[in-house]
Amino acid sequence: MSENRGILIYAQLSRNSEVVGVVAELASEAQKLSAKLDNEVISAVLLTDGTNIDNIKENLKNSGFDRVYVIKNEKFKEYSTDVYSKTIINLVSEIKPAIMLFGATTQGRDLAPVVAAALNTGLTADCTKLDINEKGQLAATRPTFGGNLMATILCKNYPQMATVRPKVLQVENIQVKDTEFIEKCVGPDCLNSRTKIVEFIQNIQEAGVTLSDADVIVAGGKGVKNEKGFSQLKELAGLLNGVVGATRGAVDMGLADSSMQVGQTGKTVCPKLYIAVGISGAIQHQVGMCGSKKIIAINSDEKAPIFDIADVGIVGDLNLIIPELITELKNRG
């Protein structure tokens, strides 16, 4: 039997020192996995001395962790691939978890492969499902072949590692535990970085409600065709207190910023309402938004795949339908 035990989750913090939402999603799923392995659910959080540790501890305790390793240093104020990866690698080498999970955020997608390479183990990226097979191995499922197939991948080395897309796992049946918090020191060999952050410029698209957190998303595809069409989507989203999203095709056409992209190579979203405008509904886009609570599709092609997953489908010219919706909402407001 392997000496590796426990499921370790990297507890990423936002720039305002809050635990990002995907951590609770991973913790909820890890509790289900741990029941099959009889293992602890562990977390590691990196923060500076000035961070409000009480709020972070409360959040992680409510997420159901058995143990949390708290590592403090001023070098953690700004994310650094070198400093963060070496710190995580040292911890993993010491505690030897059987499984390690990261959220497939921008930071997680950067950090996880560096850690995996240093530990000489495999990494299944951008997963949408996790399970434990009959041999007690992590079975991580992700889209492959351009999103046309789903592949379940096993890792033969330890720790078995995966990154999981935010919003694809549900937070449910959390078992709150008497979490043990353990403070660890950072080795001096971890603090050297080959890079330095000169300035941080926040993307204008992320200054307000982010795409991942929005309750209402009005998304446009190639069928929107021009900037005027996207300006109408922005007006509609504003009336619904929502944000605008886009397909990769629309981004490639220069109609939307890459930060607005939903899909396999963009963000995974799970809003209460998703309005898909001029979107055909290719599997690469569906994988990023199919978890939406309600989906309204507007497309001139009645055979578009998006209608297969839509709760409400409107076949027609979006240039006529969107202005009518805007007018109706203004009249009601």
What is the model's pLDDT at position 1?
A: 46
Q: Which of 235, 226, 220 is nearest to 323 (CA)?
A: 235
- Does the pLDDT value for residue 306 go beyond 60? yes
Question: Is the predicted pLDDT of residue 44 greater than 90, yes or no?
Answer: yes
Is pLDDT above 60 for 204?
no
Longest dimension (CA), the chain: 68
Contacts of 194-202 spanning 24+ positions with Cβ under 8 A: 194/82, 195/80, 195/81, 195/82, 197/78, 197/80, 200/15, 200/78
- Residue 33 binned pLDDT confidence (cut-offs 50, 70, 90): very high
% residues pLDDT > 90 (the chain): 71
**pLDDT reported for residue 184:** 92
pLDDT of 265: 82
Cβ neighbourhood burial of 56 (10 Å; 0-12, 13-18, 19+):
buried
**Which of these ranges, 170-179, 220-229, 289-298, 308-317, has the smallest mean pLDDT?**
170-179
Closest residue by Cα to residue 164 from 15, 20, 14, 25? 25
Domains and CATH numbers, the chain: 7-190 (3.40.50.620), 207-332 (3.40.50.1220)
CA 270 to chain centre: 11
Terminal alpha carbon distance of the chain: 65
Please write the tens of the pLDDT for every residue from 221-260: 999 999 999 999 999 999 999 999 999 999 999 999 988 9
Say if pTM beats, i.e. exceeds, 0.85. no
How would residue 175 be classed by pLDDT, with cut points 50, 70 and 90?
confident
What's the mean pLDDT when you consider all of the chain?
Answer: 91
Structure tokens, 7: 């499921």
- pLDDT of 177 > 80? The answer is yes
Cis amide bond preceding 143, omega within 30 = no
Q: Which of 7-11, 174-178, 207-211, 232-236 has the lowest mean pLDDT?
A: 207-211
